[in-house]
Amino acid sequence: MQIKETPKQYDVIIVGSGAGGGMATKILAEAGLKVAVVEAGPYFDPKDPKQKTQLKWPYESPRRGASSVRPFGDFDSAYGGWEIPGEPYTQKPGTQFDWFRSHMLGGRTNHWGRISLRFGPRDFKRKDSDGLGDNWPIGYEDVKPYYDKVDKLIGVFGTKENLPNEPDGFFLPPPKPRLHELYYMKGAKKVGVPVIPARLSMLTKRINEDRGICFYCGQCSRACGVYADFSAGTCLIFPAMKSGGQIDLFVNSVVREVTTDSQGKATGVIYISKEDKKEYALQGKMVVLAASACSSARILLNSKSPVHPQGLGNNSGIVGKYLHDSTGTSRSAFIPGLINRKTYNEDGVGGMHVYTPWWLDNKKLDFPRGYHIEVWGGMGMPSYGFGFNVSEMNKHVGGTVGGYGNKLREDVKKFYGSTMGVSGRGESIALESNYCEIDPNVVDEFGIPVLRFNYQWTDHERLQAKHMHETFESVIDAMGGVALGEKPGEDKDYGLLNPGRIIHEVGTTRMGNDPAKSVVNKFQQLHDANNVFIVDAGPFVSQADKNPTWTILALSWRTSEYIIDELKKQNI
Partner 1 sequence: MDRRETIKSLFVTSLAGGLVLQSCAPDKVDSVEVVPADKTNVYGRTPEEAKRDKDLFSEIYFTEHEIETIAVLSDIILPSNDSYGSATDAAVPDFVEFMSKDLPYHQLPLRGGIMWLDSQSNKLYNSEFVKCTHEQQISLVDRIAYPLDAKPEMAAGVKFFSLMRNLTLTGYYTTEMGIKDLGYKGNQPNVWDGVPDDVLKEHNLEYDPEWIPKFVDQSKRDVQAQWDDDGNLIS
DSSP-derived secondary structure for 248-291: EEE-SEEEEEEEE-TTS-EEEEEEEETTT--EEEEEES-EEE-S
Considering only 47, 52, 149, 274, the residue that binds partner 1 (CB under 8 A) is: 52
Distance CA 93, CA 19 (A): 33
Residue 402 found at the interface with partner 1 (CB under 8 A): yes
Tell me the per-residue interface mask from 411 to 440 with partner 1, x by CB under 8 A, - otherwise: -xx--x------------------------
**Quick one: which of 454, 349, 420 has its CA closest to 188?**
420
Considering only 16, 65, 313, 499, the residue that binds partner 1 (CB under 8 A) is: 65
Cβ closest to partner 1, residue 179 vs residue 241? 179
Considering only 39, 45, 325, 346, the residue that binds partner 1 (CB under 8 A) is: 346
> 26 to 45, contacts with partner 1 by CB under 8 A?
42
**Count of residues binding partner 1 (CB under 8 A)?**
93
Strand partners, 435: 321, 454
Longest CA span, the chain: 78
374 in Cβ contact with 354 (< 8 Å): no
- CA dist 203 to 145, 415, 422, 550, Å? 21, 32, 25, 15
Residue 59 found at the interface with partner 1 (CB under 8 A): yes
Residue 409 found at the interface with partner 1 (CB under 8 A): yes
Cβ closest to partner 1, residue 175 vs residue 538? 175
Cβ closest to partner 1, residue 136 vs residue 416? 416
**Torsion on CA atoms 223, 227, 233, 235, rounded to nearest 10:** -140
CB 136 → partner 1: shortest distance, Å?
A: 24
> 321 to 340, contacts with partner 1 by CB under 8 A?
337
Residue 190 found at the interface with partner 1 (CB under 8 A): no
Burial 323-338 (b: 16+ CB within 10 A, else e): bbbbbbbbbbbbbeeb
Count of alpha carbons within 13 Å of 273, Cβ hemisphere only? 12
Residue 397 found at the interface with partner 1 (CB under 8 A): no
Cβ closest to partner 1, residue 321 vs residue 341? 341
> 70 to 99, contacts with partner 1 by CB under 8 A?
70, 74-75, 77, 79
CB 184 → partner 1: shortest distance, Å?
A: 11
- β-pairing, 4-10 vs 482-483, is unpaired
Region from 178-186, 242-250, 427-435, 521-529 binding partner 1, contact rule CB under 8 A: 178-186
Region from 114-122, 208-216, 262-270, 420-428 binding partner 1, contact rule CB under 8 A: 208-216
CB 117 → partner 1: shortest distance, Å?
A: 15
> 257 to 276, contacts with partner 1 by CB under 8 A?
none
CB 540 → partner 1: shortest distance, Å?
A: 25
Residue 57 found at the interface with partner 1 (CB under 8 A): yes
CB 446 → partner 1: shortest distance, Å?
A: 17
> 363 to 392, contacts with partner 1 by CB under 8 A?
379-390
Task: Name 281's Cβ contacts closer than 8 Å, sequence gap at least 6.
Answer: 3, 4, 5, 6, 259, 268, 269, 270
How many CB atoms neighbour CB 442 within 10 A? 14
Cβ closest to partner 1, residue 216 vs residue 359? 216
Distance CA 88, CA 68 (A): 18
DSSP-derived secondary structure for 448-514: PEEEEEE----HHHHHHHHHHHHHHHHHHHHTT-EE-SPPP-GGGGGGPPPTTTT---B-TT-B-S-
Region from 174-182, 235-243, 448-456, 463-471 binding partner 1, contact rule CB under 8 A: 174-182
Distance CA 400, CA 375 (A): 29
Cβ closest to partner 1, residue 82 vs residue 449? 82
Cβ closest to partner 1, residue 195 vs residue 289? 195
Cβ closest to partner 1, residue 113 vs residue 177? 177
Residue 279 found at the interface with partner 1 (CB under 8 A): no
CA angle 562, 148, 26 (to 5 degrees): 50
